[in-house]
Structure 1
Amino acid sequence: MTTTSEMAQVSQPAASTVPPKATSRAIRSKNRIDPTYYWMVVPVLALFAFFITLPALVGVFFSLTNYAGYGDWKFIGLSNYVNIFKDPAILQSYIFTFVFALTTTVVVNIVALAIALGLNAKIKWRTGIRTVFFIPMVLSALVVSFVFNYLFSNTLPVLADRFGVTPLATSILANENLAWLAIVLVTVWQAAPGATIIYLAGLQSVPAEVYEAADLDGAGSFRQFLSLTLPLILGYLVINVILGFKGFLGTYEIIVGLTGGGPGMATQSVAMRIFSGFTGGDYSYQMANAVIYFLITLLISVIQLRLIQRRGVSL
């Protein structure tokens, strides 16, 4: 007669016959990275180090010298950095750059959202109209700035003089108080289509049932926009603001083509000041300026990433 202990022994599963060493070897083999990935990543890292990291380190080194871009040089420590904080021209370029970036970011997002709402509506020839709106995005910024330079300097003053609009009878590019507005206008004209695409993607992700329910509740179009559309596309708004502001901080071509930094130094951005170091004989001084600007933009990027993570937005 079979006892209870014997039945328990029979019912127990057989012990694994795989040796422990074989199991650990299999785990290591599974976790091992395919060497092919190294062959793909290492060349890219090498190119990045050679063309990006190495020049950056060289720039940091020369920012601690009095190197003019040619001739002899000597180590002067942090003198360039100290002088930058005392330089009113550098301060002016930082003020202009950040005011321009903030203003342009706000205007671009307002214009792009308005265009996206219009293009998302059920209108005739919607595809063709979208194509027309997106043309500025594919044009060269330098070419666009030269075209608008001609319009602001020649066409617009002639028309203003003919119709008696005295403030515009002279080129606004020659006005220290108005030249920056021309740069904002041209930048908005070219940057708005890119932001519009992102807003269109957000608007098309909103379920139609949401608006149908709002219609049944008697909510008007403006109320639907504030209570439904805007909260549902908030992530896309955050992306546009972050990418736009970061991009506008480095605006260079449009300023060069429109004003060249003038009149005087009224529209000279930080990027233009840094570039002048390659030809103006103050290479090390502008390298120090570039290092400071890099640290500022890095800090802004970290803050922006924290905001993205806090809101759960995925880029």
Structure 2
Amino acid sequence: MKAWVCHALSGDRAGLRFETEWPDAPPPASGEVRVALTAAGLNFPDLLMLSGGYQFKPALPFVPGVEGVGVLTHTGAGVDPSLLGRRVVVRARSGCLGETITLDAGQVRLAPDGFSDAEAASYGVGALTAWVGLVERGRLMQGETLLVTGAGGGMGLAAVALGKACGAHVIAAASGEAKLAAARTAGADETVALADLSTLKDRIDVVFDPVGGALFASAVRTLRWNGRYLLIGFAGGIPKPFALNYALIKGIEIVGVRAGEFGRRDPEGGSRASAAIDALVASSRYRPFIGMEVPLERADEAFAAMAAGALIGKAVVRIR
């Protein structure tokens, strides 16, 4: 099959190569399914895995890609055969940047009827992380004020849209007018440049932060009493040490968010989050913002745009 394969870990993606004769995914074992993928959505963890910078480290060589969509072509023993031929969404730990994938049946679900392949391939990870962060971990309430950093990226735009769906007043922070405009399209009530977060001091109930790095010091000071700071990721690097007395004085919580691990440790909670997202999709209250689409052989261009911070919304790779 055709696939992108990481043969060696590297910060410049030098170990990532496009293969045209890579072995197909194996036949499914008991409890597994095989899917012919039609599209994949790229996420920041995919980029981190290529350098070994993500907490999950697949054995080399590996096919990257944690989410996609395709047609379920084979079922193993114990799997409902009525799924054969159905369009399904795939949520994997890796493997979606190839033409076929075999995985546990619990890692696929029927794709939303009203979504294109590009939308179905790219909505799951961002929406699930945003919902688990905002609702399950952040306890965001109607009428509260939410600050989303990195609001021009796929994860940030999902948080903006789902924050609005929760009834929050959403302030989106990003670099550049194009990203701020995308955040307004997603439903942001206000927008602010990342350099101007000091203007929000003591206004925010919940911070949703996939950026980290130097931004943390200014973003944490936007929180009012009893605020919650959601650590989603570190696209901007690991923050410098934080004076914990500030958290004590302001009564704030620093909360780590790992949506995948949340679902693995709390399957009921994971199902609850997925059902909530399904309901929003069915009522047309959530759609992913897709800023780039490329064919499979040009997936490296999407990785480059993501690494440069030039991507607005999600990047989708068309496989068939």
TM-score range normalised by the length of the shorter chain: under 0.3
TM-score, reference length from structure 2: 0.23
Q: Which has the higher strand share?
A: 2
Task: Report which of the two has the higher share of helix.
Answer: 1
Larger RCO: Structure 1 or Structure 2 (Cα < 8 Å, ≥ 6 residues apart)?
A: 1
- TM-score, normalised to structure 1, is 0.23
